Structures are given as C-alpha cells and as structure tokens.
C-alpha cells in the first residue's frame, strides 16, 4: 500500500509541476511515517531498541552517566518518572546497570507468585442416619 501511495504522489508531482521523479526514484524514495521522531525512528521502533541502544542515544555526553535532564531531552519517560528510585545512591545520574536493576526488581515485585493460600478445612461430614 505504501508503494502505491508513493507512486500516486510521484504521478501527482509530475502532473502538477513538482520536481520530476523517475519511476524508480518514486518507488524507492522513503517517505517518513506519521509519528516519526526527530531522530528518525517511529515510536514503535523506539520500543524495539535495546536498553543499551536507548541509553546511548539519550546519553549526550557519552560518559555512561545519564542525568535527569538528558532523560527528559530524550523523552525517556520511564527513566524520567522513576529517576529518584533508580538513582538510589543520589549520585545525580543513572547507569545502564542502575536502570536494568530497577526494572528487574520492579518486574519481580509485580510478578511474584502469590503465596499459596491453604484450602479451607472441609466441613465435617454429617453423620449417617441410623436405621
């Protein structure tokens, strides 16, 4: 469908005086998807990045220390909203290991198996009627 849309757009450009694109260019010219982020990835693609890739993209100084301001600039809401809890030592920055440890602990807390509740004792059986 996207290919067809590109072909139609190229045809309209040719008809209405836009820059002429060859048929091959029209088929291979990438069209930014709706919701494309400033750094060239869609929101869906951002979620497919590994933690390390997301950290490296957000860490402007490339020093392994992500500050709250850097997390905000990268729109990393998970780290931003949990920054104080992730930065347990109050260093003013978090590392990949800190984020991973926080996420793992949070996962375990949420998915911990509920303790088995003992079954209620069965009510005593009624005595058999005497004949």
pLDDT tens, 91-120? Answer: 999 999 999 999 999 999 999 865 556 666
Confirm whether 129 is domain-assigned. Answer: no
Q: Using an 8 Å Cβ cutoff, are 49 and 57 in contact?
A: yes
Same domain as 64, residue 21: no
Range of the structural domain that residue 98 is part of: 41-111
Distance of CA 67 to the CA centre of its chain: 19
Same domain as 104, residue 54: yes
The per-residue pLDDT for range 3-34, each reduced to its tens digit, is 655 665 655 544 444 434 444 444 444 444 44
The per-residue pLDDT for range 36-56, each reduced to its tens digit, is 444 455 555 555 789 999 999
Confirm whether 101 is domain-assigned. Answer: yes
Q: How many domains does the chain have?
A: 2
pTM, rounded to two decimals: 0.51
Q: Give me the CATH number covering residue 87.
A: 1.10.238
pLDDT recorded at residue 123: 63
Exposed/middle/buried for residue 10 (C-beta within 10 Å: 0-12, 13-18, 19+): buried
| Cα separation, 126 vs 131, whole angstroms | 15
Same domain as 49, residue 21: no
Band (35; pLDDT cuts 50, 70, 90): very low
The per-residue pLDDT for range 86-96, each reduced to its tens digit, is 999 999 999 99
Give buried/exposed letters for 54-64 (b at 16+ CB in 10 A, else e): bbeebbeeeee
């Amino acid at each position: 469908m996207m290919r067809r849309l590109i072909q139609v757009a190229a045809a309209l450009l040719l008809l209405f005086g836009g820059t002429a694109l060859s048929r091959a260019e029209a088929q291979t010219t990438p069209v930014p998807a709706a919701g494309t982020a400033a750094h060239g990835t869609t929101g869906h693609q951002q979620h497919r990045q590994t933690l390390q890739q997301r950290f490296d993209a957000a860490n402007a100084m490339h020093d392994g220390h992500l500050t709250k301001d850097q997390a905000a600039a990268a729109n990393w809401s998970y780290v931003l909203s949990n920054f104080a809890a992730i930065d347990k030592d109050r260093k003013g920055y978090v590392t990949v290991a800190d984020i991973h440890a926080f996420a793992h602990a949070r996962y375990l807390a949420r998915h911990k198996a509920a303790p088995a509740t003992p079954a209620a004792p069965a009510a005593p059986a009624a005595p058999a009627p005497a004949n």
